[in-house]
Amino acid sequence: MTLDQLEKGRICRVTGFSSGCEDLVIKLREIGFAESDEVELMHRGPLGAQPLCFRLNRTLIALRSDEARAIQVDAQE
């Protein structure tokens, strides 16, 4: 599952990154995403579109859908 598929209010754990674009993976790591971090989808843009707002630790981060799609996650029950 990728981060852009997460339902609002659901918590997941980062399991890895897609290898399609190394520059994007570097950017995501620089803003704080790392394996085993817990992430929660807080808000979706108008009509369920972008931007997507996530809580990562105690920080809110907005990502485009294609950026969130590069983050592999495991949804928690």
Angle subtended at Cα 43 by Cα 23 and Cα 16, rounded to the nearest 5 degrees: 35
Q: What is the pLDDT of residue 67?
A: 94
Nearest to 54 by CA among 44, 46, 26, 25: 44
How far is it, in rounded angstroms, from Cα 47 to Cα 43? 11
Domain covering 3-75, topology:
SH3 type barrels. (2.30.30)
> What is the chain's mean pLDDT, rounded?
92
Mean pLDDT of 58-63: 95
How far is it, in rounded angstroms, from Cα 75 to Cα 77? 7
User: pTM (2 decimals)?
Assistant: 0.88
Q: Where are the domains of the chain?
A: 3-75
Mean pLDDT of 1-13: 93
Question: pLDDT category, 75, cuts 50, 70, 90?
Answer: confident
